[in-house]
Amino acid sequence: MNYTDAIIATYDRATDDDRANGHNWYRDMVRTIADQAQSSSLTVSQCAAIYAANSINTPWVRNIKLATLAIAQNGMSGGTLGMIVRKVNAIIDGHDIETTLTADPANRKIVNFWRNLSGDFDAVTVDRWAHRVATNGERSDVPSGARYSEIAEAYRMAASQRGIDPATMQATTWIVARGKAA
């Protein structure tokens, strides 16, 4: 299966609005997170990591509510999976973000999402939607290990072929695959 071709085919189906929304999605989140960091005692990196941690099996609207509340309250006491609460509180306490986000080095989704939300648009968040796009709908789990690396590289190659950054490619194809921006 050629992941790059599948990604490009999805990107090429995007409307002008989809492409604009894909281009702006991470950039808008980076600005939102920077504003939240400025009004809290946390860094942009910590706030981005809180959003990434809350993304584990959580719909985006709920993720925003949980992350915003955790940042405003400088901690989290419940309302979601205990694993997320522990990660968020460790991030706020100043623990190393990358190792806090994932105990499994083969699982790169959460770490790359944190990087994207911190403004690194070369990182690739390969979530279930990105996997679905790359496999033409044959797979919809979150890949890890070698498969994650192969799909992330395919997003980089597709982005290069279309003259955009990898995060914009991933966000745009996510919008096309889901049929909406949020």
Per-residue pLDDT tens over the stretch 58-72: 888 999 999 999 999
1 falls in which pLDDT band (50, 70, 90)?
low
Of 182, 156, 179, give the one whose Cα is nearest residue 7.
156
Looking at per-residue confidence, does 16 or 182 come out higher? 16
Of 153, 159, 154, give the one whose Cα is nearest residue 171.
159
180 falls in which pLDDT band (50, 70, 90)?
low
DSSP string of 60-107, one letter each residue: HHHHHHHHHHHHHHTS--SSS-HHHHHHHHHHHTT--HHHHH-S-TT-
pLDDT, position 103: 73
In this structure, are residues 174 and 52 in contact, taking their beta carbons and an 8 Å threshold?
A: no
The residues, ordered by sequence, that sit 6+ positions from 64 with a Cβ below 8 Å of its Cβ are 51
Measured distance CA(166)–CA(77) in Å, rounded: 35
Query: What's the rounded mean pLDDT across residues 136-145?
Result: 87
If one counts the domains in the chain, the total is: 1
Measured distance CA(26)–CA(49) in Å, rounded: 14
- pLDDT, mean over the chain: 93
Measured distance CA(122)–CA(18) in Å, rounded: 20
56 has pLDDT over 90? no
Total count of residues recorded for the chain: 182
Q: Which two tokens stand for residue 47?
A: 């706030």
144 has pLDDT over 80? yes
pLDDT digits (tens, 9 = 90+) for 84-126: 999 999 999 999 999 999 877 777 999 999 999 999 999 999 9
Question: Which structural domain range is residue 67 located in?
Answer: 3-178
182 has pLDDT over 70? no
